[in-house]
Amino acid sequence: MSTPTPRAPMLSTAEALATLLSAASPIPGTESIPTLDALNRVLSADVISPLDVPPMNTSSMDGYAIRTEDLATDGDRRLPVSQRIPAGHAPEPLKPGTAARIFTGATVPPGADAIVMQEQTEAAGNEVTILHNPAPGEWITAQGADIRSGSIILPAGTRLTPQALGLAASVGCAELQVRRRVKVAVFFTGDELTMPGEPLKPGAIYNSNRFTLRGLLEKLGCEVTDYGIVPDKLDATRATLREAAQAHDLILTCGGVSVGEEDHVKPAVEAEGRLSMWQIAMKPGKPLAFGAVRRAAQQADAAATASVETFFIGLPGNPVSSFATFLLFVRPFVLLLAGMQTVEPRALSLRADFTQKKADRRNEFLRARINPAGGLDLFPNQSSAVLTSTVWGDGLIDNPPNHAISAGETVRFIPFSELLN
C-alpha cells in the first residue's frame, strides 16, 4: 500500500502575497489622453510644472494693497486710493503714499508689500483709513508658494484622483501620459451556476461572483472581457483559456481549481501553461491558484516566458472567500500591472467592541463595521458563504493566527474604502 504524499505546509498571507507580487511588473503600452478623461488612470511619466503657481504674488483677501513704509509714522493714516485691482487684471505699480483697492486672487501691484483686509479699514470717497499695522507680506500669497516651475507635481505611477486632475490642470496640462488599462478576462465554471432572471433549477445557485468580481475589476479601472459561465468540460475550459490568453494581461476565474472530477480549470491551465496551487493560512479563503497560460504563437514552446504568457489567478468559489482573496491578492497584483508603486492598503488601529473567545490557527479576516462610538462591531455570522456580511461591514479585521479577541483591545482594521480603491 502506497504512502500518501504529505501536503505542503500552508503559506502565510504575507508569504503568498510576496510570492504573487514578485511576479508582477508594469505592463507595456502607454497613451496620451485629455486630462478631462484621465480619472483613475495611472501616469506613465512624471508631470512637471512648466510654471510657478501662483504665477505672481496674489492677494489672499479683499482689502487694500499698501507699502508698509507709508504707515511708519504715527501721523495721518489716510491714503488716497490710486487704483482698483480685480482678479484677472494687470495692476500698475503702486504709487508711494497711496493704496490700491484689491480683491482675493488679484495680482499684488509692484511696490506693495502687504494687504490690509477691508474689515481693518474705513473707506470714505477716494480715500481709505488704515486701522491696522500689517507686517510685510501679510495676506500676500507669494509667487510659487504652491508649486515651483520645474518641480514634479505628480510622479509616474500615480493613480489620478479628481484632485490630481485639478492639480495637473492648474499648471496647464491639457493632456497626460498614462499607462494603458490592464486587460482582464474573467470566466466562471460550474453547471450549477444560473444567471439572475433565469429559472432556478433544483441544485442550482445564482452566480453572484460574476457580478462581484466584474465590479471589483471595473472599479480598479481594468478593461474587462467577460466570457460568462463556461461548461464543466475540459475541452471547453481549455478553449476559453486559449482565447482569453491572446489579448489579455490576466485571466481570472472563480471555482473549479480543486481536484474533483468536475473541476476542470486546474488540468486545463496545466495543459495550456503552468499552475501553482496554494493553500493559504487564511480564513475565509485558503485555496488560491496562480500561474500563466501560453499565448498561441508559443503553444509549442514549453519554456515560454512571462513575456509570452498571460497571468492566471483562480479564486475559491465561496462568495466571501472570492471577495476577500480578490481584495487581498488580486487587487495589489492588478495595481502593480497597472504601474502603481504603492499598493498596500492603509490600516487603522481601532477598538474591538466585542469578544471572540475562539482563536483560529489561520489568519482571520473578519467582517466588521465602525459603530457610532468609534469602535468595531462584528458581523454575527462569519461564514464564507454569507455575502451579507460584505455589504453590512465597513472593512476587514486582520486577526493574527491563534489570537482570541477581547472587548476593548486594539485590532488592525482595513477599511473597504482602502481595499476598493
> What is the fold, at CATH topology level, of the domain defined by 58-141?
Molybdopterin biosynthesis moeA protein; domain 3 (2.170.190)
Q: Please write the tens of the pLDDT for every residue from 224-250.
A: 999 988 888 899 999 999 999 999 999
Question: CA distances (Å), 405 to each of 150, 223, 230, 261, 395, in order?
Answer: 52, 41, 42, 40, 17
The string over 332-359, giving b where at least 16 C-beta atoms fall within 10 Å of a residue's C-beta and e elsewhere, is bbbbbbbbbeeeebebeebbbbbebeee
| Annotated domain spans of the chain | 13-27+181-337, 30-53+153-179, 58-141, 348-419
Residue 67 pLDDT level (bands cut at 50, 70, 90): very high
Alpha carbons 93 and 70: distance in angstroms, whole number: 15
pLDDT category at 333 given cuts 50, 70, 90 is very high
CA gap 195, 201 in Å, rounded: 11
pLDDT at 4: 54
For residue 378, pLDDT over 60 is answered with yes
pLDDT at 140: 98
pLDDT digits (tens, 9 = 90+) for 156-204: 999 999 999 999 999 999 999 999 999 999 998 876 777 788 888 888 8
Give CA–CA dist 200/262, Å, rounded: 21
In CATH, what number does 348-419 get? Answer: 2.40.340.10
- For residue 73, name the pLDDT band (cuts at 50, 70, 90): low
**Predicted local distance difference test score (pLDDT) of residue 196:** 82
Is the pLDDT at 305 greater than 80, yes or no? no
In DSSP terms, 350 is beta-bridged to 411
pLDDT value of position 299: 47
Q: Looking at residue 199, what is its pLDDT?
A: 82
Instruction: Return the CATH fold of 30-53+153-179.
Output: Molybdopterin biosynthesis moea protein, domain 2 (3.90.105)
Kindly report the average pLDDT of the chain as a whole number: 91
pLDDT at 261 over 90: no
Beta strands (DSSP E) in 211-353 are: 223-230, 250-254, 273-279, 282-283, 287-294, 309-315, 348-351
Nearest to 171 by CA among 55, 60, 78: 55
Contact of 337 with 313, CB cutoff 8 Å: no
For the segment(s) 13-27+181-337, the CATH number from 3.40.980.10, 3.30.70.360, 3.10.20.600, 3.30.30.10 is: 3.40.980.10
User: At residue 302, does pLDDT exceed 50?
Assistant: no
Statement: residue 60 has pLDDT above 70: yes
Bridge partner list, 224: 184
**Strand, helix or coil for residue 164:** helix
The proportion of the chain whose per-residue pLDDT surpasses 90, expressed as a percent, equals 80
pLDDT beyond 70 at 307:
no
Confidence (pLDDT) at 75: 66
Q: How many whole angstroms separate alpha carbon 21 and alpha carbon 218?
A: 20
CA proximity to 114, closest of 69, 66, 80, 71: 66
Rounded Cα gap, residues 365 and 284, in angstroms: 7
Q: Is the pLDDT of residue 416 over 90?
A: yes
Say how many Å lie between the first and final Cα of the chain, rounded: 53
Rounded Cα distance, 283 and 318, in Å: 12
Please tell me the distance from the alpha carbon of residue 65 to that of residue 105, in angstroms, as a whole number.
Answer: 12
Tell me: pLDDT of 297 over 70: no
Q: In sequence order, which residues have a C-beta less than 8 Å from that of residue 117 and are 6 or more positions away? A: 61, 62, 63, 139
